[in-house]
Chains A and B, each alone.
Chain A
Amino acid sequence: MNEIIEEIIIEEGSEIIRVENLRRHFKVGDETVKALRGVSFTIRKGEFVTIMGTSGSGKSTLLNILGCLDTPTSGEYILDGLSVQSMSRNRRAVTRNRKIGFVFQNYNLLPKTTALENVELPLLYNPEVTAKERRERAVKALEAVGLQERIYHKSNQMSGGQQQRVAIARALVNDPVIILADEATGNLDTRTSFSILTLFQELHDRGSTIIFVTHNPELADYSSRNIVLRDGKIITDTINPSPLSAKEAFEALPKDTD
């Protein structure tokens, strides 16, 4: 069955991520915590993958490795044709800067800083981008997340949903090959969660490749593929040929009246 799935995906696009037999062990005192115990999969351009699992199943550990923040204890990781294990610390930083967009659970915006400046931040670490281009791209990214009216608002003057939108714009601004979101809706109420999910679906429709980590099983219906982890292993990896529309779900939700 897996082979059939692979063939369908190949038609969708080229390989962005390939991991093979990924293991990650943590030494805690005398014990070894095996957070990942041999994970293998391939993600192709244009996929919207949700990764699910209970707390402690290794989702964040996996995402940190995919995001080049961490290196596996063993196994292979190829990102956009590049082998990540063989990279130096600096090389990985540059790779994060050019190829990856991160969205965190707690937004992680710079305090007392405008939305525009927050979104410009990744481009500040890319010397090839001029000040003018940086600004244009940041404005475009903010437009893409629907915050064109709020580019000069400070991060602490915005609601959680708006802050997460800024964070998503920041993840988009460097035109990454993949967007990695770790519990991106974890801090938000249901309504706002669905509006953020809607945004991710829109980005996906426009061609972004997304990995969306969540412990909420409901959200699997809204992605094109769902991987479930348990105790550091993949237990299911299923294609969802007809994802639900988050927009419709959002509109169906009762509006806040108070």
Chain B
Amino acid sequence: MNLINLLKIAFKALSNNKLRCFLTMLGIIIGVASVITMLAIGQGSKNSIRDQISEMGSNMIMIFPGNMQRGGVRQSSDNMETLKVEDYKALSTVPGVAAVSPSVQSSGQLVNGNNNYPSSVYGINSDYLDIRKLKVKDGSMFTDHDVKAAAKVCILGKTVVDNLFPDGTDPVGRVIRFGKIPMTVIGVLESKGTNSMGMDQDDIVLAPYTTVMKRILAIDHIQGIFASAVNEDDTEATISRITEVLRSNHKITEGSENDFQIRSQQELSEMMNSTSDMMTILLACIAGISLLVGGIGIMNIMYVSVTERTREIGLRMAIGARGIDILSQFLIEAVIISVTGGIVGIILGCLATWLVTAIAQWPVDIRMYSVGVSFLVCTITGIFFGWYPARKASNLDPIEAIRYE
């Protein structure tokens, strides 16, 4: 018996029971539509995290005082004073390091006339802009000379500008106060918006690290070092060279632990990816379960259908259908249901995805593979869950089947 005849027979049988056929399909439709939508959302958020990380500088390396994470508990590094200005200076000559900046930070109230705004001042050097992919939009960055002199100058982020200069006056050249210390605004940063974790990247004030260390915090250690590798692929190697330099500077003996920790953006992006991967897996599992339920629905209906059509099966056998013909017919019916359901589900899933972007403005990305996999899974679902009912049908005894009431 050829395939066209089989398809003809299966289609005919299905069209005799359109409503049931549709209801059976519904399970598959919902399953596939949710798989497509969930994967699109998962992929979309992954993309946006990746974009933001690369915007932040994907080859960034961060060094903080303190031990590496141990046994799942990260020890507080706030009051460790293991990093010095000399460490940062030593790193600038390490091969593979493109730029390096120390980092100290102080939180406090910023004041401009009647306007107050609580923010943080970051003490850094001019390399920091390159490392963090920041740009000065108005005015200019402070110079090495400003750093040496611990000049009371600062660069403001857009959020800070909006809060301190709500009337829209140009902040460049104006003097604001951070606590008691007056600082001249010499530049404004280009806006970067919020990052993927919802942090406002424009809520920032930059100043020479010397100014923050000496005039604000009165400390002689630094709280961190930001560096960037020449290129992303070289990050690992650069990190190990940095580690070596810092260990020898700190006179750490072989076998002892580091008194600093190094994080790279790459690591961060891997961590975030694995988080969003987990999310995607979770979503896909939920969607997969609904597909499974859809498959069981097919099996259920196929069983009912085989019982209901016992006489028909008996007749087909009596007029010459072989077991394989009956098996194929029911299998093809199951596959037609699941594949048609799959196609409708894919279309519906794309529509739902589109709605998600249009209404909730979530980033989404429908990958061809998720469409392909859904389609494949549907076909397999049909074959798998159609198999037992179909086999039951093909094993019927024609004499008993044709007498069945």
Quick check: is A42 within 8 A (CB to CB) of the other chain? no
Chain B residues with Cβ under 8 A from A113's Cβ?
12, 16
Chain A residues with Cβ under 8 A from B402's Cβ?
104, 108
Residue of A nearest to B315 (CB): A108
- A93 to B16 alpha-carbon distance, docked (Å): 26
Given that A94-B322, A121-B319 are known contacts, is A127 also in contact with B2, CB under 8 Å in the complex? Answer: yes
Given that A70-B399, A125-B1 are known contacts, is A89 also in contact with B315, CB under 8 Å in the complex? Answer: no
CB <8 Å contact, B12 and A69: no
Proximity string of chain A (92-117) to chain B, C-beta cutoff 8 Å, 1 when within and 0 when not: 01101110001010001011110001
Given that A108-B311, A124-B1, A125-B1 are known contacts, is A102 also in contact with B318, CB under 8 Å in the complex? Answer: yes
- A116 to B399 alpha-carbon distance, docked (Å): 25
Chain A residues with Cβ under 8 A from B311's Cβ?
108
Quick check: is A64 within 8 A (CB to CB) of the other chain? yes
Tally of chain A residues near chain B (CB < 8 A): 27
Residue of B nearest to A126 (CB): B320
Given that A104-B402, A125-B1, A127-B1 are known contacts, is A96 also in contact with B318, CB under 8 Å in the complex? Answer: yes
Chain A residues with Cβ under 8 A from B314's Cβ?
108
Given that A110-B312, A111-B16, A112-B16 are known contacts, is A69 also in contact with B318, CB under 8 Å in the complex? Answer: yes
CB <8 Å contact, A90 and B324: yes
B7 to chain A, nearest CB (A): 11
B317 to chain A, nearest CB (A): 7
B3 to chain A, nearest CB (A): 10
Residues of chain A from 60 to 108 with CB closer than 8 A to chain B in the complex: 64, 67, 69-70, 89-90, 93-94, 96-98, 102, 104, 108
| Of the residues B2, B9, B312, B319, contact of A102 by C-beta under 8 Å | B319
Quick check: is B367 within 8 A (CB to CB) of the other chain? no
Chain B residues with Cβ under 8 A from A102's Cβ?
318-319
Given that A108-B311, A111-B16 are known contacts, is A69 also in contact with B399, CB under 8 Å in the complex? Answer: yes
Quick check: is A122 within 8 A (CB to CB) of the other chain? yes
- A211 to B398 alpha-carbon distance, docked (Å): 20
CB <8 Å contact, A121 and B12: no
Quick check: is B321 within 8 A (CB to CB) of the other chain? yes
Residues of chain B from 98 to 130 with CB closer than 8 A to chain A in the complex: none
Chain B residues with Cβ under 8 A from A64's Cβ?
399
Of listed A94, A102, A108, A111, residue having the most chain B CB within 10 A: A108
Give the contact-size bracket for chain B.
Answer: 20 to 34
Quick check: is A170 within 8 A (CB to CB) of the other chain? yes
Quick check: is B241 within 8 A (CB to CB) of the other chain? no
Chain B residues with Cβ under 8 A from A170's Cβ?
319
Chain A residues with Cβ under 8 A from B324's Cβ?
90
- A93 to B9 alpha-carbon distance, docked (Å): 18
Chain B residues with Cβ under 8 A from A174's Cβ?
319-320
- A48 to B397 alpha-carbon distance, docked (Å): 29
Chain A residues with Cβ under 8 A from B318's Cβ?
67, 69, 96, 102, 104, 108
CB <8 Å contact, A93 and B317: yes
Chain A residues with Cβ under 8 A from B321's Cβ?
93, 97, 125
Given that A110-B312, A124-B5 are known contacts, is A89 also in contact with B319, CB under 8 Å in the complex? Answer: no
Chain A residues with Cβ under 8 A from B200's Cβ?
none
- A156 to B318 alpha-carbon distance, docked (Å): 21
Task: Taking A69-B398, A94-B322, A174-B319 as given, write out 18 further A-B residue pairs in contact, using a Cβ cutoff of 8 Å, ordered by the A residue number.
Answer: A67-B318, A69-B318, A90-B323, A90-B324, A93-B320, A94-B320, A96-B318, A96-B319, A97-B319, A102-B319, A110-B312, A113-B12, A121-B316, A122-B319, A122-B320, A124-B1, A125-B1, A127-B5
Binding site for B on A (CB under 8 A): 64, 67, 69-70, 89-90, 93-94, 96-98, 102, 104, 108, 110-113, 117, 121-122, 124-127, 170, 174
A-B contact pairs, 26 of them (CB 8 A): A64-B399, A90-B323, A90-B324, A93-B320, A93-B323, A96-B317, A96-B318, A98-B320, A102-B318, A104-B318, A108-B314, A108-B315, A108-B318, A108-B402, A110-B312, A112-B16, A113-B16, A121-B319, A122-B320, A124-B8, A125-B1, A125-B5, A125-B316, A125-B325, A126-B320, A127-B5
Closest 3 CB pairs of A and B: A97-B320, A93-B322, A122-B319
